[in-house]
Chain A
Amino acid sequence: MSSTVEIAKPSKPWKPSIKERIIDITLLAGAVLTSYAVVGATELKGKLAYFFVFFAALAIFNLIKGTATRDLMIGKDQFFSAVMLLGMTLVLIPTASILFTVIDRGRKGLHSGLLTNDMSLATPSDPIVNGGLAHAIVGTFLLVSVALVFSLPIGILTALYLTEIRGRFTRPIRFLVQAMSGVPSIVAGLFILSAIVYTVTKSYSGVMGSLALTILMIPTIARTAEEVLNLIPNDLREAGVALGGTQWRTVAMVVVPAARSGLITALILGVARIVGETAPILLLTGGGDALNFNPGSGAMGSLPFYIWKSFLLGTEESITRGWAGLLVLLVLVLTLFILARVLGSRRMK
């Protein structure tokens, strides 16, 4: 006679039971109520106050619950869980606030001519629709492009030294790249001033600003490129050399093409690093109100300068323009960021 065999059902007995979950939710609700009560009863005000009290209450409730149901050690464990969560939330709050603020205040400055007009004919208190930031976008694009001309080769060459040649300068160079990434942007600006503007060109221009931006970009590009080149498996290099290739041909025809998407990521990250840098621009490039396609001379606008000037002018309209500028800058940074991510994940084909 055949007996029906019961197949065991997979279960997860270690997950919290329904009862435990209900207790947790009750605690959460209790903490929320406590925060309202405390804030209402005392002089604490503001959203942050609610948050702090909420987490304090949650942590204490957790401590009590844990100690009461098991022992102090468990209680402390539960207590700190809440504390760690608080830490994480404290990181998210400013980020959310920044995003919200920029979108909320910046959208008032959006209009159809934003990306096509410049400010050459608009005064600070003109209505928003007069004027735009076309010159700023063009300017930023030009500044970044010129900076890339210098920083991309140097950054990639540095990375190639660290991964392909690995000579006796490897440790010093790696340290120097790290040191360079800590150079304050204003110091980079002062350097170009003293080394080039005061001695050679005697004039401010977009190119001068780009040179300072180059210094800020090189470490980012070099570091990312190094990481990416190191990911290329060594047997590709060996295969290239075993076929009779010289080192440089192997690097140029095998390694670098294999790392192509990663190197583009390095470029994008380098651009993202400097696209919002203000200090060097204020020192070396200044800014203009009109479209200027020549980075070598003439007043060159840029997004950071546009934002800076708009806020400084102080009228209601110009402040809105400033927020709109920040919004455009933020969108730009976000786009670059997402591009880098997408490229990065596609690399793992």
Chain B
Amino acid sequence: MNSEESNKEKDMSTSSLAGIASNHSTKRAGTNRLGIGLEARGVHAWFGKHHALSNVTLDFAAGTVTALIGPSGCGKSTFIRTLNRMHEFIPTAAMAGEVLLDGRDIYEPGTDVTKIRLKIGMVFQKPNPFPSMTIGENVLSGLRLAQLKNSHKEELMEECLVRAGLWNEVKDRLDAHGGSLSGGQQQRLCIARALAVNPQVLLMDEPCSALDPGSTLRIEETIKELSESMTIIIVTHNMQQAARVSDFTAFFLADGGPGEMIETGPTSQIFSQPRDQRTENYVTGRFG
């Protein structure tokens, strides 16, 4: 720790972040309805010859919220896409390492990829409800796409919309077009849609970056509620957001080379007493 840097603002920002983080109650690891959670071991990622991500090992305990923070271009989004095997859609993509869901490597040959994605869901940066479907159809679209049978579709739709915090606003217009909602509502619709297939893990790639502060807050509330029943991993640019919603935080950085995970720990610790100088520089706003 550089105690020489007694910059007033720096102290205040660190401590305020830490304050927020400590207000947020830390979950105990392994709230066990959900199995063992997700584990990344030595994950590398390439785009063609470009080595984008290097040796990331992270543990995501069940029922926790983990935030991935770091400046742009440090590989956070790439990393999160290796967790549900979306990374391989880019033709030149390659990876190394393992991603274990409940102890089994999802990259094992012979794995049914589509089943993996049912267990590890994703919400994207830009809300993308399906334009050809109504709100109700959007929520249930995951069932149709994955050919899941469900005899209680109506109840499932309502439950997902409730959990996403959208039910009251759309319950009277479930037949309306998916694109007729505001940005924040669309994103909550996407969350509801992701919930309908009952994932164990929910990946969120900067879900609020395209939204206004009001919607952002509402989604953050949703995240907190959802974390009671699943593991959430959220990539965010917004440190205050990370401090507000997450139990654990991992800091990524690409220092001219591939992105690496520099440090990880309970959120309050990362923001108040980071162990690595680079982490401290980032969370105090010296760069980023």
Contact = CB atoms under 8 A, between A and B. Distances in A.
Q: Do chains A and B touch in the complex (CB under 8 A)?
A: yes
Interface of A: 233, 235-236, 238-246, 249-250, 253-254, 257-258, 260, 349
B132 A242 contact: no
Binding site secondary structure of chain A: helix
Interface string B122-165: 10101010111100000001101111000000000000000000
Contact of A239 (B118, B124, B144): B124
A242 B114 contact: no
Interface string B223-236: 00000000000000
Interface of B: 84, 86, 89, 114-115, 117-118, 121-122, 124, 126, 128, 130-133, 141-142, 144-147, 179, 190, 193-194, 197
Given A233-B128, A253-B141, A242 B84 contact: yes
Contacts, number: 76
Contacts of B197: 243-244
A249 B126 contact: no
A258 B145 contact: no
B86 A241 contact: yes
Contact of A257 (B132, B179, B194): B132
A241 B117 contact: yes
Contact of A244 (B114, B131, B133, B179): B114
7 contacts: A236-B130, A242-B84, A243-B141, A243-B197, A244-B145, A245-B114, A349-B131
Given A235-B126, A238-B86, A349-B179, A243 B146 contact: yes
A238 B190 CA distance: 12
Contacts of A238: 86, 89, 124, 128
A242 B142 CA distance: 9
A258 B130 contact: yes
Contacts of A258: 130-132
Given A253-B145, A349-B179, A243 B194 contact: yes
Nearest to A237: B89
Given A243-B141, A245-B145, A257-B132, 16 more contacts: A238-B124, A239-B128, A239-B130, A241-B86, A242-B194, A243-B117, A243-B121, A243-B146, A243-B194, A244-B145, A245-B142, A253-B145, A254-B132, A258-B131, A258-B132, A260-B132
Contacts of A253: 141, 144-145
Contacts of A241: 86, 89, 114, 117
A249 B118 CA distance: 14
B142 to A, nearest CB: 4
Contacts of B142: 243-245
B78 to A, nearest CB: 14
A243 B145 contact: yes
Contacts of B179: 349
Contacts of B89: 238, 241
A249 B147 contact: yes
A239 B196 CA distance: 13
A253 B115 CA distance: 18
Nearest to B147: A249
Contacts of A233: 128
Contacts of B145: 240, 243-246, 249-250, 253-254
A236 B117 contact: no
Nearest to A235: B128
Nearest to A245: B145
A153 B126 CA distance: 33
Contacts of A260: 132
Contacts of B84: 242
Interface centre among B84, B122, B145, B193 (most CB of A within 10 A): B145
